[in-house]
Structure 1
Amino acid sequence: MNAISNLNIQRLFPDQTFRRGFDYYRRNLVSDLKYDRNFELWTAIVSGTEDYFVEIDTSDLGNGILKTRCECPAYATYDSCKHVVAALLSIANDDFQDPSVLKYKMTNRFMEAVSRTNEASRGNLDFKGERVPMHVEYILKQDHNDRLQLEMKAGAARLYVVKNIGDFLEHILQEPASYTFTKTFAYSSEEHYFLEQDRAIFQILNAIIQNEELYRGDIPYYLDTWSSSKRRLTIPPLVVHELLSLLSERDVKLETNEGSYEDISMVTGDLPLQFALQKNAEDDLVLDVGRFKEMEYFSDYKLLFYNGTFHRPDNQQLALLDSLYDLGQISGELPVPAEQADAFVSEVLPSLKKLGSVGISDDVARGIVQKPLKAKLFLDLEEAAITGNLEYHYGHHLIHPFQDDAERDVMIVRDVEQEQKIMQLIEYANFRYNGRHLYIQLDEDDLYVFLYEILPVLDEHVELYLTTAVQNLIVDNAPSPTTRVSVDAATNLLEIGFDLSGIDQDEVTNILDAVIEKKRYYRMKNGGLLSLETNEFESVGQLFADLNIDKGDIQDGRVEMPVYRSTQVDELIDTKKSYDPSFQKLLHQLKAPEEQVYDLPDNLNATLRNYQITGYQWFKSLSHYHLGGILADDMGLGKTLQTIAYLLSEPKEHPHLIVVPSSVVYNWKNECDKFAPDLEVAIMTGTPQERLQKLTDRKDADVWIVSYGTLRQDFELYQEQTFQTMILDEAQYIKNYATKTSRAIRQIKAGRRFALTGTPIENSIDELWAIFQVILPGLMPNQRAFRQLSHEKVAALTRPFILRRLKRDVLTELPEKIETVHHSELTDEQRNLYVGYLRKLQSETAASLQQGGFNQNRMKILAGLTRLRQICCHPALFMENYTGHSGKLEQLLETVENAKASGRRMLIFSQFTSMHEIIMKALDTRDIDYFYLHGGTNSEARVEMSNRFNDGEKDVFLISLKAGGTGLNLTGADTVILYDLWWNPAVEDQAAGRAHRFGQKNVVQVIRLISEGTIEEKIYELQQKKRELIDQVIQPGETMLSSLSEDDVRELLSI
């Protein structure tokens, strides 16, 4: 409902713009008019030289602001245009088509008015007792502008004229209500009542009065007289349909220019129109509009009235009624000149049938031909042009649309709508007419567009007749590419070939090059244009793009790829496939390693579990094709044993190199001696001179074991050596691509490379990329492109080369791991310190973030967070003179004593070395013996302490979280206490995995100690929110914590 009247619209625009917009509106060029009540926004499509989208925002109309927008060039220049004018006029004239939504902006005042009257109505639903009913008579009168004005009479015993409708409604709709009609009669709600049907009408009338200004804009062009008397109320178009429906059920009279009616009704459907087409004395056609001249057409209301009934035409009928209205008022007949007879029967006659019945006299009917259109287009190739002739056939009558001036003794009812569509297509195809035939001058690109885009559309509307020359340009039954894949045993490369049936192999490479160049077509040697826009060729193009195949890579219609692309190639091929048995075997080995049948070595001194045998088969399957991978089994599932079994099974060609953290060098040596005593193992440790001597003396050993640090130092000594296999244990040590260690390892010569890690991703998915740059260089795109890949894409690329099993899935007999959180309270001394440091850090950090200095102050912020965590553990960690207590330490000691009393043995992890010293002092005072492992503990001592603890010596093992999180088997413990939280929960999981692993016989309890109401609770929540990345890329069950972001810091510090 728009408060802008038509007069107001005219004032808003320059005269020329308004006149053109008005012309567009009268020509019904506005369509798809819609209203969004939530945003108070109108949208429409206005057809001009093109279809333009128009928006009209009325949300700020109450403040006198109307916002508009149009896509046309004129609007971009002048901020107004004829399309906006046409849309506004359509809104003002109720052209909105959706009956389920109000056509105009329904103002809150109107809704509130209806709501108030509804409430008043509900207040009158009580028992009427002896009250007297009121009778109402409604009188509708047609004014000189063909609008309806309403008058009323009301009363009990007799009827009285309502002299002021507004005043009447204002009093009647109150509660209690009273209204004085005359000196002798007054209405009182205590003595009288109105029927609910009348009160519903009152509600609408009252809303009209309250929104009179709004409805003034609803009636276009006629603003000179609204209601000349207070006893009359002009009915606006917005409510006329609803109001007339209600009035038709009441006592109503209608006075029109043609007469009076005591009863009215409202119908939708067929109109009561009858037309007659006949010939006059001069043998010309004459259209008799029949009773139309007896009808009243209320154009503002879009209603046709006849014999007591209002008829609601549809939109298509309305346009025709507008054009007939003047005719019906002036004369009942329309003479049709002979030269316009064909056009009349083709264009006017079908439209009249949409309005009503059309009677055709026999002498006229005999001269009318009504046959379906059959259009034919004949095309030929003449030098560099396509020529054509267009024909319309109606039965046996032929029409040449560009030169037809033949006289006929019949009138043909032509399919004007279809002919117009065909002509639009002819124009769209850029055909020109030279007086003899149609023609198009085309270069090769335009010719392709014509053949493959325009012809199919023309074919839907006309019958095409092509000469041989034109047919030869189109490659019928375009060949569908078939992709062949095989494995070249000699080169260990995939060979991908492409077959195109019916095309010589020497042309296939050129066609594939055209696909890579993203060309739309290829010109064949025979002159035909082969479309490369089919689904099959687009699939080939996508395959080339995904595999980074360029023109130079294709030779003789074939391309070679590394075998590690096998599953990727299989997933990407979306054409017909032809796989060689060698490639089928490779796919099967990569996708189903558990189904392979590589024999275990007889001299393996261990019995493998089923899942470990699958791991062994996975190793062997990849190794067979000189591939590598990541064994990412959960901690405690025996990655070391599976690896040793694989190394033992391999033929002795070159030594195997195992690169490990320094803390587990001897552990690997012991495991090799235990499970594969036939392997000669050399440990590359000692001083530089000793290591150099070992490289000389032990170069024939089957297995070399070296730490990451030693390899980095002695890299030049390893450069010339070729290794059969390189094993990277705890491969997260090479997660940073730019480090010297990673660079050194990438240059080691090894036929196969495998990584072992329970956490292939700790902080970022870039770490997975860095590991694959070592074990399968070339599998991943460059780092920038890799970061653009979705997690699903990364998973698809790496799936065959990552084997990961979780303990809960494969070790069903493994005792349960119970994880609990124990909260402790800060002591008073701790709390005072904590609050002071927290407020200071919040203030400093908020200032840094406000100035956009998060990255510049990251280290300072992280140091402040660490200080808060240290206060939670024990303030003495950084305050030398602190003499107070720690609530968490007291809880730990109580937990240790209770666990010992229950016969439990425990591992206590902390990341702070000073915290271990505080804990050791507290344990010493309680005579509790313990082992202590930290970053300075050498490998031999680590192994010795682990063995002694597992043999039952001492009940407590203090371990540095980072130093002891990997490479330890401590199944002698059944309780793991994490004294403080680490930013990365994967490190905590590794720590818990020291006890909860293969060989554990007891239920393992993992206890996290958290200070209540502190940052530790926020850290724990943050950990839980960031455990999804590995689930998406690898398999469920792993955890990670991305580097702290600005949002993370805000959440941790509540700022």
Structure 2
Amino acid sequence: MNSIRDINIKSMFPSAVYNRGVEYYNNHLVSDPVFDRNFKVWTATVHGSDDYFVEISTPDLENRTMEAHCNCPAFETFGPCKHIAAVLLAISNSDRSNSIRRSRDYQVTNWLMSAISSLNTYQPASEITQQKTPLHVEYYLKWNLDDNLLLELKVGEKRCLVVKDIDHFLQDVFSGNEHYFTKTFTYNPDIHYFHEQDRAILEQIFSIIRNEKVYADRGISYIRDTSDRAVVIPPLVSKQMLYSLQERDVTVKADTGTYRSFEIVEDALPFHFDLKKNGKDEFTLLMDNMDSMTYFEYYHLLFYDGVFYYPKQDQLPIVEQITMAGTTHDRLHITKEQADTFISEVIPSLKKVGDVQIADDIASEIIEAPLHAKLFLELDGNWMIGKLTYHYGDYEIDPFTGREQNDGIVIRDMEKEQQIMHLIEYANFHYNGKELYIEADEETLYEFLYHVLPVLDNYLDLFMTGDIRSLLIDGAPSPSTSVQLESSSNLLEIGFNVHGIDDDEVDRVLDAVLEKKRYYRLQDGTFLSLEDEAFTSMKQLFDDLEIQKDDIQDGNVHMPVYRGTQVDELIGTQKQYGPAFQKLLHQLKSPEEQVYPLPENLHAELRNYQVTGYQWFKSLSAYYLGGILADDMGLGKTIQSIAYMLSEPGEAPHLIVAPSSVLYNWKNECMKFAPDLQVAVLAGTPAEREQMIEAYSDIDVWITSYATLRQDIALYREKTFQTLILDEAQYIKNYATKTSQAIRQLKAGRRFALSGTPIENSIDELWAIFQVILPGLMPNQRKFKQLSHEKIAAMTRPFIMRRVKEDVLKELPEKIETVHVSELTKEQKQLYVGYWRQLQQDAAQSMETEGFNKSRMKILAGLTRLRQICCHPSVFMENYEGESGKLNQLMDTVRNAVANGKRMLIFSQFTSMHEIIIEKLQDEGIDYFYLHGQTASEERVQMSERFNQGEKSVFLVSLKAGGTGLNLTGADTVILYDLWWNPAVEDQATGRAHRFGQKNVVQVIRLVTEGTIEEKIYDLQQKKRELIDQVIQPGESMLSSLNEDDVRELLNI
């Protein structure tokens, strides 16, 4: 807490006082508050029925230390008042409105101080003081008739002279001016100096005077002495000032004498009292030295015999009353009628502030014993009747009549008696002059028995008749819960029981819990409280699981199995689980401990975290559940899914729905890692797709796009899939879209979503995904929005598997290389097939007539044209208006990577391709750097440094221009848009990010178009990579190593 605006002002005042303070502030009745930085004191005047002066001291706000004072009558009687509340509000709002200006002023002031200070010639303090004469300061502390502390000064070299005008003197001191005293002495700052402690005190005094002037200039009354030679010490800074003066040459001028020094005591007071008998039934209280004491009301300070005493807060009211009486009388006469009350109530208060001596002949009559209060209760129809008595030892007192049934003088514990009377009021008892009573209907009776009685029991000895005790249950019956998993129905059976309650009443107790009643009245009239922790947990269980009355049959409720972990977290300590349910919980909570074997025909070696992902798939699948695999981009969501599908043969086909750009990537990955699976992509015309789906049972894995599925949804209505896998599930993050609606119509035994970003903009996106993969798990959208993030996390935890690269860094290689396969669009395919057939024909004829060596360049030019069509026909065609499958795939990858916080390099050897990509990035609002062959060397370095420092997410690089000489370790993803003939050149490109200084795992993605020359080039690269590593040096073109057999293989000649 650094300022008053950080304080909860409302909590400091009773609501009525605070509200009045708000009215005063809103009605502009507070003068502008002024802050004294030396004393850390705020001062202001509030204009009410009179003008009231408010001081607020903030010596240590960091530790919530704050003191306030107002000179209004209400403050003296009740403490914090509406005027203080109004000033605090004014300061708080002044802080807020002026914070920006003050920050700016602070900077300007700092600059000005620095500039002026640099002009001054530095001279060490030791040199200054050695050359100057120290001045001695004498301080004289006294007080006026209003008991305001006054301070006067004397100053001099050897003999001190009276400072006749403190204000004028201190102005000269702190302005560096001379000050005339007498013909023989003038203060001169060039030859005189003050000791450090004295100078600090003088600064405090000068600050007090400045505050006086501020208020005087505003026409506000401020307490001060009429003499210029004295300054009034304000109450809020008096303690600080006294401690400072105590160490200096100070004289206290009191009415009782002059003291050359003083002490300060905070843990004791000087009062001494003697109670003596003054006749048969009368007493006298002697109060020693009261006429020699001075109490400073506004300072909360007492002076006696050279000592300033600070009473504790709880002593202040007593001290004020004693001094008020004692300064005029050093003894008090107590009559016979006053004796009992005085000794019983006043003497205990006197003991809190001083020493009390009681004469022996009085002490023998005084009974001093701890208070024991007794409350006797009985039930009379609808009335609770009570009798309250106070007991001090063997003596009994009626608290209402005050009559004591004895002859002694009892010292009563008035504080505790007052607490008990407050409790009686809290219990809503009324007194009819004879006894206490409550009109008790059933609700009031329950409230009294279970809420009021426990409180009363802490302060009173309770005595109750049998008819009251019969309403209370012996021992608190607590509910217990059992959970079984019915394997035949795959449902949870939750059973409820209440120990000590007959079975035929359990359902009615549960109904009362559902109705959120505070209690249930058993058939025998006993009250069963439903407010203890166990029943509260049960209420929460019913609320969270949306259990209704009709759901409960014979104390049992059936729930879907996906509620398992939620039920476990909601049930209290009294629970019993069946073995099948225990196994379910273990599988959902600890998938890494499961031992489902990996398929033997999986052509891949999974990393440890991928095995855990596979076990997670299998654990959920065993109970026909689904989930979200939310692993970070590049951690292998695809291979984990393929391993799972391979392990689940026969029941029905699996269906994968993915973005159009990655359909063939899925197919290739399945063929690569699970060749035993029959995989088909649902593509082509609507008629072709309809014909394909008719043979759906002959295929193990079907793959389709979101757009195609939306068009074909009617074809799926009679089909049931074993598993539905939704790749890039953010495609269904909007519940209301046609795509999301279509997906929800699919029939599948298990449903899994794959997404590195299941939440991109709103938590509602997670809700939409779960409506597909586990419908029913989440409440409706309105209730879902009201859930805390912690509750949502607990509800979904078993069904979301999320690992980021930092979690599994030790398992990852330094570089992860993957191939993403795309499909030619319809327009691309027409162009590609035409060019390919022409090249195939021309190459065959040319090699036949001219030979391979003479035909090489013409053939390679044709191969390059085919590669450009795969990239985007617009690379060389000006009037092409169609799309590119590879470009669509790139943009999907870029969007996903940016959403995951990845930073990427995109390489292409075609400048015109970069221009097309740039246009797409601009459409998406994705910022980028672009380095090409014409980029100046200096600009290359600047762009690299800015990118490595975190600026922009994408860096486009020409494969030739950026293949060497660049350090781009700010990237963690490298995308090779088009393949280069020589893999060594590609390795140089990926080396821009994967090099010394890279702290992240680098993912390298090669984009390859299915069924084209690119696939053949990639296969050829892999075959010749080992030979290239051995023979071809980096930079040597692989083109020169292409032989006639390679060309014939590439063109199917």
TM-score, normalization by structure 2: 0.65
Q: Give 1:426 shift.
A: 0.4
Contact conserved, 2:148 with 2:296, CA < 8 A, in 1?
yes
What secondary structure, in the 3-state scheme, does the structure 1 residue paired with 2:795 have?
A: helix
- 2:507–2:554 Cα contact (<8 Å) kept: yes
2-structure distance, mates of 1:792, 1:984? 38
* Structure 1 pair 632–156 and aligned structure 2 pair: CA distance change class (3 A): closer
- Which residue of 704, 707, 710 corresponds with 1:707? 704
Tell me which of 534, 542, 545 is aligned to 2:543. 545
SS at match of 1:530: strand
Provide closer, same or farther for how the CA distance between residues 501 and 175 of structure 1 changes in structure 2, counting only shifts above 3 A.
Answer: same
Q: Equivalent residue for 1:513?
A: 511
Letter in 1 for 2:872: H
Mapped pair 1:442 → 2:440: yes
Shift in Å, 1:786? 3.9
Shift of 1:450: 1.9
Q: Is the 8 A contact 1:172 1:179 kept in 2?
A: no
Partner of 1:8: none
For residues 695-744 of structure 1, what are the alpha-carbon distances to aligned partners after superposition, in whole Å with 9 as ceiling and x for unaligned? Answer: 66x46535473634555445444423444444555655545444444434
- Aligned match for 1:586, one of 578, 584, 590: 584
Would the alpha carbon gap of residues 692 and 246 (structure 1) be closer, same or farther in structure 2, given more than 3 Å must change? closer
Partner in structure 2 of residue 72 of structure 1: none
The verdict on how the C-alpha distance between 1:364 and 1:214 changes in structure 2, with shifts beyond 3 A counting, is farther
Aligned residue among 494, 497, 500 for 1:499: 497
Whole-angstrom distance in 1 between the partners of 2:794 and 2:1001: 18
Query: Could you report, residue by residue, the CA deviation over 1:314-362 in whole angstroms, capped at 9, with x for unpaired residues?
Result: 3333322322334324332211122222211122101112222111111
1:731–1:746 CA distance, 2 compared to 1 (3 A): same
Match of 2:178 in 1: 177
Question: Which shows bigger deviation, 372-381 or 647-656?
Answer: 647-656
Maintained 8 Å contact 1:962/1:987? no
Report how many aligned residue pairs link the two structures: 825
Assess if the C-alpha contact under 8 Å between 1:44 and 1:53 holds in 2. no
Q: Is the 8 A contact 1:320 1:351 kept in 2?
A: yes
The whole-number CA distance in structure 1 between the counterparts of 2:788 and 2:865 is 39
TM-score by length of 1: 0.65
**C-alpha contact (below 8 Å) 1:58/1:66 kept by paired residues:** no
Rounded to whole Å, the distance in 1 between the matches of 2:458 and 2:231 is 56
Q: Which residue of 2 aligns with 1:397?
A: 395
What are the superposed Cα offsets for residues 208-257 of structure 1, whole Å, 9 maximum, x if unpaired?
Answer: 44443568899x9997xx54444455554455445555555566555544
Q: Alpha-carbon deviation of 1:576?
A: 2.9
Pair 305,58 (structure 1): closer, same or farther in 2 beyond 3 Å: farther
Provide the residue aligned with 2:293 in structure 1: 295
CA–CA distance in structure 1, aligned partners of residues 943 and 231 of structure 2 = 80
SS in 2 for 1:499: strand
- Structure 2 vs 1, CA of residues 273 and 795 (structure 1 numbering), >3 Å: closer, same or farther? closer
**Percent of aligned positions that are identical:** 48
Structure-2 change in CA distance of 1:575 and 1:64 (3 Å): same
Give distance in 2, aligned partners of 1:727 and 1:43.
Answer: 56
Match of 1:825 in 2: none
Q: 809-818 or 53-62, which moves further after superposition?
A: 53-62
2:890 corresponding residue in structure 1? 961
Unaligned stretches of 5+ residues in structure 2: 35-45, 57-67, 96-108, 114-119, 819-862, 897-904, 927-940, 956-968, 973-999, 1004-1053
Which residues of 2 match residues 795-806 of structure 1 at below 5 A? 795-803=793-801
The equivalent of 2:553 in structure 1 is: 555
- Structure 1 partner of 2:31: 64
Give the direction of change, closer, same or farther, for the CA distance of 1:600–1:258 in structure 2 (3 Å limit): closer
In structure 2, the CA distance between the partners of 1:402 and 1:542, relative to structure 1 (3 Å rule), is same
CA distance change for structure 1 residues 343 and 81 in 2, over 3 Å: closer, same or farther? farther
Amino acid across the alignment from 1:212: E
**1:908-957 C-alpha deviation (Å, 9 max, x unpaired):** 999x99993454479xxxxxxxxx999566xxxxxxxxxxxxxxxxxxx9
Any idea what the Cα deviations from partners look like across 1:790-826, whole Å, max 9, x if unmatched? Answer: 555444434433445678849947561599xxxxxxx
Spell out the pairing of 1:586-735 with structure 2 (5 A cutoff).
586-598=584-596, 604=601, 606=603, 609=606, 614=612, 616-631=614-629, 646=644, 650=648, 652=650, 654=652, 656-657=654-655, 698=695, 701=698, 703=700, 705=702, 707-708=704-705, 711-728=709-726, 731=729, 734-735=732-733
Q: Report the CA distance shift for 1:550/1:134 in structure 2 as closer, same or farther (over 3 A).
A: same
- Secondary structure class of the residue paired with 2:872: helix
| Paired residues for 1:463-482 under 5 Å | 463-482=461-480
Q: Which residue of 2 aligns with 1:333?
A: 331
Q: 2:383 aligns with which of 381, 385, 388?
A: 385
SS in 2 for 1:354: helix
Conservation of the 8 A alpha-carbon contact between 2:521 and 2:528? yes
Say whether the 8 Å CA contact 2:679–2:703 is kept in structure 1.
no
Q: Secondary structure at the match of 2:70?
A: helix
Root-mean-square deviation over aligned CA pairs:
5.7
Give the distance between the partners of 1:788 and 1:176, measured in 2 at CA: 70
The answer to whether the 8 A contact 2:225-2:232 is kept is yes
Deviating more after overlay: 273-282 vs 424-433: 273-282
Q: Compared with structure 1, are the counterparts of its residues 770 and 518 closer, same or farther at alpha carbon in structure 2 (3 Å cutoff)?
A: same
Give the Cα–Cα distance (whole angstroms) in 2 for the partners of residues 36 and 453 of structure 1: 41
SS of aligned partner of 1:330: coil
Q: Provide, for residues 483-522 of structure 1, a one-character-per-residue CA deviation record: whole Å limited to 9, x for no partner.
A: 2211112211111222322122333333333333322222
Structure 1 pair 934/792, CA: closer, same or farther in 2 (3 Å)? farther
Q: Classify the secondary structure of the residue corresponding to 1:421.
A: helix
The equivalent of 2:212 in structure 1 is 212
The structure 1 residue matched to 2:527, chosen from 523, 526, 529, is 529
In structure 1, the partner of 2:70 is 91
Separation in 2, partners of 1:620, 1:134: 91
Deviation at 1:416, TM superposition (A): 0.4
Q: Which amino acid aligns with 2:702?
A: I
Letter aligned with residue 410 of structure 2: I
1:346 is matched with 344
Provide, for residues 78-121 of structure 1, a one-character-per-residue CA deviation record: whole Å limited to 9, x for no partner: 997999999999423898999xxx9999999xxx9xx9xxx9xx
Question: Letter of the aligned partner of 2:579 in structure 1?
Answer: P
Does structure 2 retain, via aligned residues, the 8 Å contact 1:961–1:987? no
Match of 2:482 among 467, 481, 484: 484
Distance in 1 between the 2:760 and 2:666 partners? 24
| Whole-angstrom CA distance in 2 between matches of 1:363 and 1:908 | 125
Task: Say which SS state the counterpart of residue 388 (structure 2) adopts.
Answer: strand
Q: 1:213 to 1:685 in 2, by over 3 A?
A: closer
CA deviation digits over 1:130-183, x for unaligned, max 9? 9777666555555444445555555567665554444444456654634232x5
Aligned twin of 2:276:
278
Distance in structure 1 (CA, Å) of the matches to 2:466 and 2:204? 73
| Cα 1:251/1:490, change in 2 over 3 Å | closer
Task: Return the offset for 1:562.
Answer: 0.9
Give the C-alpha shift of residue 527 in structure 1.
Answer: 2.1
User: How far does residue 581 in structure 1 lie from its aligned partner after superposition?
Assistant: 0.4
- Counterpart Cα distance in 1 of 2:762 and 2:298: 69
Distance in structure 1 (CA, Å) of the matches to 2:335 and 2:15: 31
Q: 1:917–1:158: structure 2 CA closer, same or farther, 3 Å change rule?
A: same
> Letter of the aligned partner of 1:701 in structure 2?
D
The structure-2 alpha-carbon separation of the partners of 1:180 and 1:921, relative to structure 1 and needing over 3 Å to count, comes to: same
Distance in 2 separating the partners of 1:161 and 1:810: 81
Deviation by residue 1:835-891 (Cα, 9 ceiling, x = unmatched): xxxxxxxxxxxxxxxxxxxxxxxxxxxxxxxxxxxxxxxxxxxxxxxxxxxxxxxxx
CA drift at 1:437? 2.0
Quote the offset at 1:441 in angstroms. 0.8
Unaligned runs of 5+ in 1: 1-33, 68-77, 820-905, 923-931, 938-956, 968-973, 989-1006, 1028-1035, 1040-1055
Counterparts in 2 of 1:907 and 1:311: CA distance versus 1, 3 Å: farther
User: In the alignment, which residue of structure 2 is the partner of 1:566?
Assistant: 564
Q: Could you say if the C-alpha distance between residues 188 and 716 of structure 1 is closer, same or farther in structure 2, counting changes exceeding 3 Å?
A: closer
Instruction: Encode CA deviations 1:605-625: one digit per residue, 9 max, x unaligned.
Output: 746536566555444433332
Distance 1:171 1:817, change over 3 A: same
Counterpart position of 1:916: 872
Residue 815 of structure 2 corresponds to residue 816 of structure 1: yes
Compute the displacement of 1:422 (Å): 0.1
